[in-house]
Amino acid sequence: MRREGAVRILRTLPILLAGWLLAGFSSIANSEDAAVIAKGEYLARAGDCIACHTNPGGALFAGGFPMATPFGTIYSSNITPDKDTGIGAWTADQFYGTMHTGRFPDGGLIYPAMPFGSYTKVTREDSDAIFAYLRSVPPVHQPNRPNGLRFPFNNRQLIVGWRTLFFQEGEYLPDPTKSAEWNRGAYLVEGLGHCAMCHSPINALGGTSESKAFEGGLIPMQNWYAPSLTSNKEAGLGEWSIDEIVDLLRSGVSHRGAVYGPMAEVTFNSLQFLNDSDVRAMAIYLKSLGEGNPLAAEVSGIPAPESSLLLSFGETVYETHCASCHAKDGRGMPPNYPPLADNPSIQMESSVNPVRMVLNGGFPPGTKDNPMPYGMPPFAQTLSDDEVAAVVTYIRAAWGNRGSAVSSRQANELRTAPLD
């Protein structure tokens, strides 16, 4: 009996070993899948996919978010793994093709409200990771909402001309003359981050030439100005330290200033979740865009405060409503109350942002590094158009600032403009 038992054990041993090996391989495979999905979730955060593909109050990535454009309204698509209404029937090849070429799997053209001009730079490995993550989220059966574009912009074939003028397909190619950190930052800023989509001037055709990238411009239909990242007179960061840029990107505030409006949403949804090395890489790249572009030394067209009735009036409004937080000398109490003196964002060519802040107020984003942000109250109900124009003119010209004057008509136009 002992001999027969030993034989049975020997016969069973290969089966047991095979089972153990298969279990081991399965565990390794599951671990690798989990790592890819985690990487994809991180990259989807870097690309701020949630901002457009999740309608407030709606299911994650189920689409339906309305994006107003000068040509009508576009609704984002369902990218959950639902096989009928989402991307559940797609392959990794098809997903990469969509990201890389700006075409649906059936060859249909995608409207450039999706930043495929930036996403084309994403590597195949990163695309596959994002696809794996999206396949892991709960499927939602929600048909895509038809776009509300006016004629003739509802004809997708017009996109062919747009693509010819403004789209260049191809993954990001590292610059061999730059450091690995700089290249990583460039990849994130130019690719997944699609920062140029807002921080570049948009022409009448809804496009931007490559030579104008990051030179700033009005964000259509949102009534905000995305400042130039190449000019230190606006938002160029060439004169900032790396730590100051990192603080601004990660927490939304720094000793130099704070982010509001659409940029606050980017920080809240995306940038605060990036790791230290990636935020630093982005800071290094962004700083390089503004290097060699010092603050302009031209003289402002606003008369000196002592000879200007407008500025004198603005100073009175400032001391009454603003000085308690931003200080009489405009130095503020950073990081909670940003400085206004020597602040490029106050002196930009466009006065849209400071006027909007005075009218509507705002908060920096609540982030893990700044969980209880200090905000600015709205003054639309307190100040007249003349008072808004005067106080914004004052802060754009006082303390050595060199911004241009603001008219009451400009204040009125933004007072009546939609907030979104």
Tens-digit pLDDT profile for residues 306-325: 446 888 899 999 999 999 99
CA distance linking residue 349 with residue 234, whole number of Å: 8
Residue 214: phi, psi to the nearest 5? 70, 15
CA distance linking residue 388 with residue 225, whole number of Å: 18
Encoding tokens for residue 205? 């055709």
Q: pLDDT band at residue 22, thresholds of 50, 70 and 90?
A: very low
Residue with tokens 């003289």: 299
Encoding tokens for residue 283? 């800071």
Helix axes 385-397, 352-360, angle to 10 degrees: 130
Does the pLDDT of residue 123 top 90, yes or no?
yes
Does the pLDDT of residue 134 top 80, yes or no?
yes
Residue with tokens 């200090």: 374
Does the pLDDT of residue 94 top 80, yes or no?
yes
Burial zone of 95 (CB within 10 Å; 0-12 exposed, 13-18 middle, 19+ buried)? buried
Name the DSSP class of 296. P
- DSSP code string of 190-253: IIIT-GGGTSS---TTS---GGGTTS-EEETTTTEEE--SS-TTTT--TTS-HHHHHHHHHHSB
Mean residue pLDDT across the chain: 86
Residue 75: phi, psi to the nearest 5? -110, 130
Encoding tokens for residue 9? 């054990």
Looking at the DSSP bridge assignments, the partners of residue 370 are 367
The pLDDT of residue 323: 94
Q: pLDDT band at residue 87, thresholds of 50, 70 and 90?
A: very high
Q: pLDDT band at residue 62, thresholds of 50, 70 and 90?
A: very high
- Assigned fold of 305-415: Cytochrome Bc1 Complex; Chain D, domain 2 (1.10.760)
The residue among 175, 194, 40, 202 whose CA lies nearest residue 121 is 194
Encoding tokens for residue 420? 């979104």
Q: Residue 78: CA atoms inside 13 Å, Cβ hemisphere, count?
A: 23
> Beta strand 224-226 with 66-69: parallel, antiparallel or unpaired?
unpaired
CA distance linking residue 367 with residue 375, whole number of Å: 14
The pLDDT of residue 316: 94
